[in-house]
Amino acid sequence: MKIIVGLGNPGTKYLRTRHNLGFMVIDKFSRQLEMECIQNKFQSLFCKKKVGEEEIILLKPQTFMNLSGIAVKEAVNMYKCQIQDTIIVCDDLDLPLGKLRIRRTGGCGGHRGLESVAASLGTTDFPRLRIGIGRPKFKDTSGFVLSVFSAEEDVVIAESLEEACRALKTWVSDGIEGCMNKYN
């Protein structure tokens, strides 16, 4: 069993914001797998499907970014899923726009969603796929992460969403090492 969690904020107000890249990846990946995350479970929009030999669970926590860990912990505990079989997908201010970075473990880099997941799970030893949103030229990062992408940025992000979905397919089939070797 593999759990893939996209971090974001619920509601149409946040739909296309930079901080919702995790949700965007889950939406695209679920369409590719012919799944629909509409069921409410684990304080998340949830769907589950067997793909090949692997059961895949997709989650979009509806707790808001800063409390995402609550939903992740509920799902991990319910399915007794190993931490290394749960991957968190989120935005990253410190990566250039559209750049992917996949890690087996690591720090949270000031990302409140990752901090919440780490606090709820009691460890930072979980895989993560980060997608760069770039750092703003101005100092207000909270306003920046809640802003929408420009038309030019949308082109880059569309490609990154495709690449992120390919990376997740590799993670499911080949594990984190295979995924890191191919996409980092």
User: Minimal CA–CA distance to 145: which of 101, 107, 92?
Assistant: 92
Active site residue 19: yes
Phi/psi for 52 (5° steps) reads: 65, -125
* Angstrom distance (rounded) from CA 144 to CA 157: 16
* Angstrom distance (rounded) from CA 133 to CA 123: 25
Instruction: Please answer whether residues 68 and 74 qualify as being in contact, where contact means their C-beta atoms are separated by less than 8 angstroms.
Output: no
Pair type for strands 54-61 and 2-6: parallel
- 19, 111, 128, 130: the catalytic one is 19
- Rg for the chain (alpha carbons), in Å? 15
Got the DSSP string for 131-174? EE----SSS-HHHHHTSBPPHHHHHHHHHHHHHHHHHHHHHHHH
Residues that are catalytic: 19
